[in-house]
Amino acid sequence: MSQKIPVTILTGFLGSGKTTLLNQLLESGLMADSAVIVNEFGAISIDAELVVGVDEEILQINNGCICCTVRTDLVTTITNLLSGTKPIRRILIETTGLADPAPIIQSFIVDEVLSTKTMLDAVVTVVDATHIDRWLADQSTGENIAAEQIAFADIVVVSKLDLAEEGRLAKCEATIRAINPMARVLAPIEGRLNVASIVDVKAFDLKNCLAIEPLLLSDLEHEHEHDTSVISVEVREERSLDGPGFFKWLNAFVQQNGDRLLRCKGILSLTGEARRWVFHGVHMTLEGRPGRPWAGSEPRISAIVFIGRGLDAVQIRNDIAGLTQPDASLVA
């Protein structure tokens, strides 16, 4: 029997830092000949645009969570990968922040093809040190996704410690251990993790998963319903945005809607700027930076996503449309 292909599931709530960790993995050289599957909540794929790929094959599954609505697409995608001519050494799946890991894990255990040709190496959950308490306190639905993501983890990576108060790691670790005492807890040093500690580690623990979800091995579909009040508002704008005007609007929008806004992120084409501008935020926290230059033949399209409860999609799109410039190709 040929050797099974190891699979890493990279999960974590919205804005926890999954894509940052994935990029560190890709830059390390450990992911050569790997397949990376990126799943996002919504039709626009921002994270896939921000993934640094060299020889890795990047696949996207959008507009739903692979834990439920497009789970079949995940199985089909991986089955097609395995039947292709290109050799695959490893598979990594970056889930949307709203994904419950249980049904994804179940697919690799119960599905005949996946269980024969692949093996789960580790479920890695990224936890935001600055927002973990808020996520875990969310009782808006009967199921707390952030808690589920920690509970099913073999490894928990605590991110954004540089933005947290002193002693925060110990508090986060105590919170994590209260949910999952078996998980290995790792912390990046100066924002970077020893990525060799999360791949090819054979850390997956089926016994721990069965203790959390006894029906994991059954043929029954794992019950999981998303909070239907959470919506994704996607904006695509072909005209360049006025930078100062947009950022003034964005800061005001975040301050006014911070309690309802779970996540925002975008890649912007700004008037007079030769480079893309990348921003992301969680609740009222915003970060932004210049990205790579726009390629000569690349359409300069701004792609923005807001995820939250009770957001006014029409108003958001109208506001942003009012901040555009007529010439999208204008570069200083």
d(CA 120, CA 6): 6
Q: What average pLDDT does the segment 23-27 reach?
A: 87
d(CA 307, CA 323): 21
In this prediction, residue 219 has a pLDDT band, given cuts at 50, 70 and 90, of low
pLDDT attached to residue 328 = 44
d(CA 194, CA 176): 20
In this prediction, residue 125 has a pLDDT band, given cuts at 50, 70 and 90, of very high
In this prediction, residue 216 has a pLDDT band, given cuts at 50, 70 and 90, of low
Q: Answer for the pair 177, 153: CB distance below 8 angstroms, yes or no.
A: no
Q: Answer for the pair 123, 154: CB distance below 8 angstroms, yes or no.
A: yes
Least confident of 36-40, 61-65, 167-171: 61-65
pLDDT digits (tens, 9 = 90+) for 153-171: 999 999 999 888 888 999 9
3-state secondary structure of 32: coil
**What is the residue extent of each domain of the chain?**
5-212, 230-321
pLDDT digits (tens, 9 = 90+) for 84-94: 778 889 999 98
Q: Answer for the pair 120, 105: CB distance below 8 angstroms, yes or no.
A: yes
3-state secondary structure of 4: coil
Flag whether pLDDT at 100 surpasses 80. Answer: yes
Domain 5-212, architecture per CATH: 3-Layer(aba) Sandwich (3.40)
d(CA 189, CA 306): 30
| Assigned CATH topology for domain 230-321 | Hypothetical Protein Yjia; Chain: A;domain 2 (3.30.1220)
User: In what helix (H) or strand (E) does residue 126 lie, and over which residues does it extend?
Assistant: strand 118-128
**pTM for the complete prediction?**
0.73
What's at 300, amino acid-wise?
A: R
**CA 19 to chain CA centroid, nearest Å:** 6
Flag whether pLDDT at 56 surpasses 80. Answer: no
In this prediction, residue 9 has a pLDDT band, given cuts at 50, 70 and 90, of very high
Distances (CA, A) of 261 to 110, 135, 141, 301: 36, 12, 16, 23
* Identity of the highest mean pLDDT range in 43-52, 67-76, 109-118, 132-141: 109-118
Helix runs in the chain, H state only: 18-28, 47-50, 71-82, 101-110, 112-117, 132-136, 145-151, 168-179, 206-212, 243-257, 313-321
Residue 229: closest CA among 184, 207, 259, 191: 259
3-state secondary structure of 47: helix
Residue 89: closest CA among 3, 197, 196: 3
In this prediction, residue 119 has a pLDDT band, given cuts at 50, 70 and 90, of very high
Instruction: Return the structure tokens found at 308.
Output: 């939250």
pLDDT attached to residue 178 = 87
d(CA 158, CA 319): 36
pLDDT digits (tens, 9 = 90+) for 272-303: 999 999 888 877 878 888 888 998 888 999 99
3-state secondary structure of 317: helix
pLDDT digits (tens, 9 = 90+) for 240-250: 999 999 999 99
